[in-house]
Amino acid sequence: MTRRVCLALPTNRECAAAISLLAEEADYAVRHFGVEVCLLILDTCDGEAFYRNFRATRDLPPYKNVIPVHLSSAAQKHHLRKIIDCAGINGPDGILELMLPDGVSYGACTNRAFLISSSLGCDSVHRRDSDSRYQVVNGTTVFPIHQELLSLGKKAGDAKAAVSEVLLDPIHESKPVSMVGGSFIGEMSVDIGDIYALDREIYYDIVSLWADNHCSPEEKRKLVDISFKGCGTDKFTHDRSTLSIVDPMNIDMCNISFYQVHEDVPLPPATDTIGSDYFLMHAVECACLPGVRHNRHIENFYTRERKTDAGFMAYHMRLTKFFLSMLYFHDIYKNMARAGEAMLDPGHHISISPIIEMTRQSLQLNKRENEHKLNVLTDAYTRLGGRYASFAELIAGQRQQLLLKAEQDINDFGVLMEVWASLMNASKMTCLSEAGLYNSCVDIGPSHLEPGGC
């Protein structure tokens, strides 16, 4: 039976060019690895932006064994409702809100890709972003899926021949390669370069807020130096890949693939919070599951929206909420690291129950650290002046709401984890309706296309 994989692009913007490039990557995967690719576009745009994406997907060349699936917010909501009903979960409206919230949620959009890919019969998810593009070297496009399909899902011992370096302890060789990822080059993943140019000490004060509170000044300085920069300008020349227990600091969610583990653990569904989609990388590392880091880095660029006043305020609010979330996540990560391989069941699946308990425990932490972070941010943005000072006034006026929302986000994550196994099992039995499927939709086959299942 032909392996089916999901190449996923969540988007809330017009991105016809990205859709076209993604289809080329899907075609590359089919031609070089003999897989079927579900090209999944999860589109929360409306108006003209949505229809441009619709037309881009509809008008793709008829690539063999590439199955375009373009889903609007309404289509996603309809399918998620079917999954939730099939799972028989209490409080279904609340779970639907966590899966498809009104605000921007990097974790929730990826969680939808996880569930819908299972409905489509895919065994792995390969995620890209709409504000990035592929490197081109000597006229050849550098597709990350090349490195991903060389190793992902294989036993680590069997994957050694496909990489250029092995730093994995042999005791892990019987486990599957659960994650393959690269990073990005180009502009920073967070638009804070102007702060660096204005005042490097204020830049340090702000960026260091995501460090663990127990880090030394030297460790914080090192973290600041590498934060949000990806691989800088390290252009691709030839393939380099390393099989190891991968450090999440070396890979990014615009260039990532997962096998099996996305069925075990969801991502935090926090809204308007950068970094909320990186949790699974840490779970894979802490559970000592093998991964591959490669150098087929994606080029990151800034959309015009980031430079508008509204875009500026939105991105800095997402950064602020990220800093506040780290009070909880640092504690969870440390507890997961202590648990290590004990989080794995005999089949090398991550057991979610210990993580739920760690999450609940983190809610007992003293909130004074987050109060201090807001003090530092308010002071730093005020000193920068201009619209930074306006942002300082914004967060000062929302201080209590921000503290409470950070806590609520962690609680919501615990709620979603408690039902994740039921949702994932239901997704495999819930067929995707014909709405939103274009071009080669017939290739999905009746078991995944026609109404049925639950």
State how far the Cα of 399 lies from the Cα of 391, in Å rounded to an integer. Answer: 12
Residue 454 lies in a domain: no
Q: Letter for the amino acid at 34?
A: G
Q: Where are the beta strands (DSSP E) in 22-123?
A: 36-43, 66-71
232 falls within a domain: yes
| pLDDT score at 199 | 95
Residue 359 domain-assigned (yes or no): yes
* pLDDT reported for residue 302: 65
What is the spatial distance between Cα 212 and Cα 200, in angstroms, rounded to a whole number? 21
Tens digit of each residue's pLDDT, the chain (454 residues) = 899 999 999 999 999 999 999 999 999 999 999 999 999 999 999 999 999 999 999 999 999 999 999 999 999 999 999 999 999 999 999 999 999 999 999 999 999 999 999 999 999 999 999 888 999 999 999 999 999 999 999 999 999 999 999 999 999 999 999 999 999 988 776 778 889 889 999 999 999 999 998 899 999 999 999 888 888 888 899 999 999 999 999 999 999 999 999 999 999 999 999 998 999 999 999 999 999 999 999 998 766 665 677 788 988 999 999 999 999 999 999 999 999 999 999 999 999 999 999 999 999 999 999 999 999 999 999 999 999 999 999 999 999 999 999 999 999 999 999 999 999 999 999 988 644 444 333 333 333 443 345 5
- How many C-beta neighbours within 10 Å does residue 345 have? 9
Helix (H) or strand (E) holding 180: strand 179-181
In a domain, residue 64? The reply is: yes
The Cα–Cα gap between 87 and 180 comes to 30
Q: What per-residue confidence (pLDDT) applies to 307? A: 66
The length of the chain, given as a count of residues? 454
User: Angle at CA 252, nearest 5°, toward 139 and 37?
Assistant: 60
Q: Which domain holds residue 74?
A: 4-433
- The total number of structural domains in the chain stands at 1
SS3 of 384-403: HCHHHHHHHHHHHHCHHHHH
pLDDT value of residue 234: 81
SS3 125: strand
Other C-beta atoms within 10 Å of 379: how many?
Answer: 13
Q: Does residue 421 lie in a domain region?
A: yes
Q: How far apart are CA 207 and CA 205, in angstroms?
A: 6
- Contact, 150 vs 162, CB < 8 A? yes
The two structure tokens encoding residue 154: 């294989």
**Diameter over CA atoms, the chain:** 62
**Domain presence at residue 390:** yes
**Torsion of Cα atoms, 196 then 199 then 201 then 202, to 10°:** -90
Nearest to 150 by CA among 31, 32, 299, 25: 32
In-domain check, residue 443 = no
Distance between CA 228 and CA 218 in Å, rounded?
18
Query: What is the structure's pLDDT at 193?
Result: 82
Distance CA 322, CA 316 (A): 10
**Short-list 161, 206, 179, CA closest to 282:** 179
> Is residue 14 one of the residues assigned to a domain?
yes
Burial environment of residue 34 by CB neighbours within 10 A (0 to 12, 13 to 18, 19 or more)? exposed
Task: Provide the residue type at 435 as one letter.
Answer: A
- Under 8 Å between Cβ of 40 and 53: no
